[in-house]
Amino acid sequence: MKLLKFALDTAKSLGADYADIRVHHNLNEMIYLRNMSLKNTSQRDTYGYGIRIFLNGAWGFAHSNDLSEQSLIRTVKRAFTLAEQSGRIKYNGGLKLAPERSYVDIYNTPYEIDPFDVPLSDKVDLMMEVNKTMLGFKDIKQAMFMLGISKEEKLFASTLGTMLEINTMYIEPTFRATAVTPHDSQSRSYRNGGFAIGWEYMEERDWLEKAEKVAEEAIMKVKAETLKGEERRSLILDPMHLALTIHESVGHPTELDRVLGWEADFAGISFATPEKLGKYQYGSEVVNFVADNTLEKGLATAGYDDDGVPNQRWYIVKDGILQEYGSTRDTISQLGNGLSRGCNRATNYFDFPINRIPNLYLEPGQEELSPNDLIEDTEDGIYIEGQGSFSIDQHRVNFQFGGDMFWEIKDGKRVRPLKKIIYKSNNPEFWNSVDAICDRRFFGLFGVTNCGKGQPGQVGRMTHGAATTRFRNIRVGGSQ
Amino acid sequence: MKEKMRKLGVKVRQLCSADDFTLTMYYNQDTHVRFAQNGITQHIDGENLVLNLEVAFDDQTGTASINQIDEESIEMLVHNAEAIALLNMPDPEYIGTDGARKLRPLNKQAEATVNLDVKEMVDGIELCVNNAIEKEAKVSGISDKHIYKNYMMTKKGFQGYDERVLFSHSMTMKKEGVETKVSASVQDYSQFSMEQMIKQLNDQFDSLKEPQKIEKGRMPVIMRPQAFLQWLRYLAWTFQLREAEEGTSPYTDQLGKQFFGEKFNLYSTVDNPILSAPLFTRDGTPTKNISWIENGNIVNMQCDRFYAKLKGIEPAMMFNTVVDGGDDTEKEMMSKVKRGVILNNLWYIRPVDMKAGEWTGLTRDGVLYFEDGEVKHSVTNFRWNEILHDATKRILGLGKAVQVEHNAIVPTVLFDDFNFVDVTTF
């Protein structure tokens, strides 16, 4: 903390209006097993710091992995020069920072067993067993298991007087079986995303049972038929599938930097513009989207964001109406006098923090309702589990999604598996077509660890959640 | 930097007791100036050096990486990689490292790029912003300068050092319902003209007034080079020999056969000085000219060292992308079909069906409708679902191949019957 204070004092002595420094120490372990061959067993250790200087309404950011006093001075001066140069072409007359107070605090991801303390052989043995189980099925020709574990220690200090120590952890197991026949190949995955939790997550589950199910369904899928043309039908989507649709069609459009056009050149902008706040019917009346960076096991839950703003919980959509955005100190100030919702996050020490999707979930329904009840109540529909193909335009309006497993529903019964199913919809049609959401018992979380955004690109993480939900009258059909 | 890397390599060699190892070092120095809505929003600068060590005891492997180079950190790097390997299960597909290989001489790096400073980068952005203001529009984008240095050594004697410098710039101009983008990356900044890029942006922007909606369906498209390159990037991802032979890609049993259209030729080259071409790939294989598709025939596919050894062939990786062009102008292409659309770019391309080779995506940055040899008006965007290898069988015309990125030369292509499956709302 002494060195951090030294950097901030240097920034102030140069005349910075505001400055902050983040020191990151990231430790990542990755094990990748493909058909019983360990393609990658690695540990990556990254250490460094980034300094942001705000001067006359413009940012400068410089980073280094040398924590000596001389390097700190050099890096602060570099960030200052960049801020001066940025100030030549000011955004909207100059960026502003929303007010914020100072905090001195420590945050730790709650966990019981540190996955870095678990012997490598225990991890590899488990992965081998899962792979062996999947390859034990005759038609399974490829079996993959990827285990990612990450620990991040971060120190943050700002000229507001904030001093934070943030220690986060997450774990992400993913495996996939691919079935091959003479004319086709189809995969089925176990993929719940990452969770901010320790190794206990791995000990609490029966992985071999899941591996068998994945392999069986991959075989079922490769032998399944597809649908011919596109028709309007009911869709029942499971929580793992919904995590992706929520991410793409609600999370990204309500990032305030996109709304302001800051991502216009690459990721794109948003249809959910400020004049729609409080009025726009984003979804039907049963649709409520909650942003919650205090969510237990949430990947965006870290106590504070990289502006030093505390994690919060708020409604993005309430009773179907667009309420608010995910924001940062420099984006929210463009809308007036509001306070930041604390969504500014950088992935690595060398990344400039950007407006990120918070943990975001669809609230479960109030009435008692199970996925089986939904199926029984559906005459003609498709039930989709897990995630597949996904593509959405740069305004976040028009999209097409696939899935990982598909079932045809006829007269209230799941009648047969299907493959190669895609559906097309748009905002606001899609979320306004929701007529039923299962209750809290069927709520599931999915952690996203690969959210690409920004120039230069960063890979962010957050958690989504939902209970199984029904959509009416959506265009669904088979691919070519 | 080369000497510093070499010394670090010597240190690792002294410390490493494994049967085999590969040490790879990546150095990068980057400056990024990001602007949005006519103002600079981010400005980033810094350097980083990463050491990645893969070791093997017999066929037990382990990898560790660090970005600190003090003695203690180097010792930790070696210790961690070795500890992982010793605790690991044997890898049946591990093959040992290569010994010394002959590499091409190091290319001289462009001084103009190396010496480009922040002030000059901001000067360039100022030109773009002033242009947008003149057009009563908003421009957003990024200017980047990159310096990369890369060193690789193995226990068995392979040593390679490579350098690359790049300048890239992209920008999107938007006014009401019209938005369009141009982008470029070059090795030599002296070959880059911001004025020319602004002109290209203005030409595209001016051509896109008041887009109208037309029906979806199959129709001819003139796909400009940037758009075609976006799609080809995904071809490179799936064009793997092993996946083909395991039956999970569309290329199963197609090596040596005509699978693409006969007008389609794709290769990677080390001979064109404007194209970046690393001296060696990330697995240490020296790069050389390689043809992937000749007159529609698949002649080579990408292959890693393990699978190449198994098949008794050379490992291969698509390190840059060249597609042969032709002589057609856009005007001539328009006259070859009754009607169609011209696409500036494609967006959010994702696989729909890996086995079928079917992809989906949208159009972006402007679509023009033409009929009877003339552009009539701009149109709103489409979603498309299409099979790339099938589409190449429907090539009716090829324009002159042009440099699109530092590592790609691609022509404008006229495809017949392109499959637009939806119209979008803007």
Q: Angle at Cα A113 formed by Cα A110 and Cα A118, nearest 5°?
A: 145
8 Å CB contact between A341 and A445: no
**Mean pLDDT along residues A86-109:** 97
Give the per-residue pLDDT at B108: 87
Share of chain A above pLDDT 90, in %: 98
Closest chain B residue to the Cα of A90, Cα to Cα = B39
Give the per-residue pLDDT at A411: 98
**C-beta atoms surrounding A44 within 10 Å:** 18
| Fold category of B2-202 in CATH | PmbA/TldD fold (3.30.2290)
Give the per-residue pLDDT at A60: 98
pTM over 0.90: yes
Q: Nearest Cβ partner of B126 from A40, A88, A180? A: A88
Q: What is the pLDDT of residues A425-476, one digit of tens each?
A: 999 999 999 999 999 999 999 999 999 999 999 999 999 999 999 999 999 9
Q: Do A88 and B43 touch (CB under 8 A)?
A: no
Torsion over CA: B382, B387, B392, B393 (sign): negative
**Mean pLDDT along residues B30-40:** 98
Tracing tokens 């918070």 back to the chain, one arrives at A358
Give the per-residue pLDDT at A285: 98
Decide if B42 touches A, using CB distance below 8 A.
yes
Give the per-residue pLDDT at A64: 96
- Confidence grade of residue B159 (pLDDT, cut at 50, 70, 90): very high
Give the per-residue pLDDT at A1: 81
- Confidence grade of residue A244 (pLDDT, cut at 50, 70, 90): very high
Decide if B253 touches A, using CB distance below 8 A.
no
| Fold category of A2-222 in CATH | PmbA/TldD fold (3.30.2290)
d(CA B303, CA A362): 44
* Closest to B34 in 3D by CA, of A475, A343, A409, A261: A261
Q: Do A88 and B61 touch (CB under 8 A)?
A: no
Tally of CA atoms within 13 A in the half-sphere of A297 that contains its CB: 19
Q: What is the pLDDT of residues A27-85, one digit of tens each?
A: 999 999 999 999 999 999 999 999 999 999 999 999 999 989 999 999 999 999 999 99
Q: Is the pLDDT at B79 greater than 80, yes or no?
A: yes
Q: Do A44 and B364 touch (CB under 8 A)?
A: no
- CA torsion B284-B290-B292-B297 (nearest 10°) is -140
Decide if B347 touches A, using CB distance below 8 A.
yes
Q: Do B48 and A48 touch (CB under 8 A)?
A: yes
Give the per-residue pLDDT at A424: 98
d(CA B126, CA B119): 10
Joined together, the tokens standing for residue A225 give: 């038929």
Q: DSSP assignment of B387-407, as one string?
A: EHHHHHTTEEEE---EEEETT
d(CA A84, CA A294): 36
**C-beta atoms surrounding B256 within 10 Å:** 10
ipTM: 0.95
**Mean pLDDT along residues A184-209:** 96
d(CA B192, CA B185): 8
Residues 73-132 of B with CB under 8 A from A: 76, 80, 84-85, 87-89, 91-94, 118-119, 122, 125-126, 129
**Mean pLDDT along residues B384-402:** 97
Give the per-residue pLDDT at A2: 87
Q: Nearest Cβ partner of A393 from B45, B50, B381? A: B381
- Confidence grade of residue A94 (pLDDT, cut at 50, 70, 90): very high
Give the per-residue pLDDT at B114: 97
Give the per-residue pLDDT at B107: 87
**Mean pLDDT along residues B126-141:** 98
Closest chain B residue to the Cα of A80, Cα to Cα = B43
Q: DSSP assignment of B74-122, as one string?
A: HHHHHHHHHHHHHHSPP-TT--PPPB----PPPPPPPHHHHT--HHHHH
Give how far A318 is from chain B: nearest CA, Å.
25
Do you know the residue count of chain B? Answer: 426
**C-beta atoms surrounding A244 within 10 Å:** 22
Closest chain B residue to the Cα of A179, Cα to Cα = B248
First-residue to last-residue Cα distance in chain A: 59
Contacts of residue B91 in chain A, CB cutoff 8 Å? Answer: 37-39
* Residue range(s) in chain B whose domain bears CATH number 3.30.2290.10: 2-202
d(CA B396, CA B129): 39
Q: What is the pLDDT of residues A150-173, one digit of tens each?
A: 999 999 999 999 999 999 999 999
8 Å CB contact between A143 and A207: no
Q: Is the pLDDT at A335 greater than 90, yes or no?
A: yes
Give how far B254 is from chain A: nearest CA, Å.
13
Q: Is the pLDDT at A480 greater than 80, yes or no?
A: no
Q: Do B67 and A128 touch (CB under 8 A)?
A: no
Give how far B335 is from chain A: nearest CA, Å.
29
Q: Is the pLDDT at B225 greater than 90, yes or no?
A: yes
- Angle A120-135/B71-87 helices, nearest 10 degrees? 40
Q: Do A40 and B63 touch (CB under 8 A)?
A: yes
Q: What is the pLDDT of residues B343-363, one digit of tens each?
A: 999 999 999 999 999 999 999
Q: Nearest Cβ partner of B48 from A59, A265, A350? A: A350
H or E segment at B203?
Answer: helix B194-206
Decide if B358 touches A, using CB distance below 8 A.
yes
- Confidence grade of residue B54 (pLDDT, cut at 50, 70, 90): very high
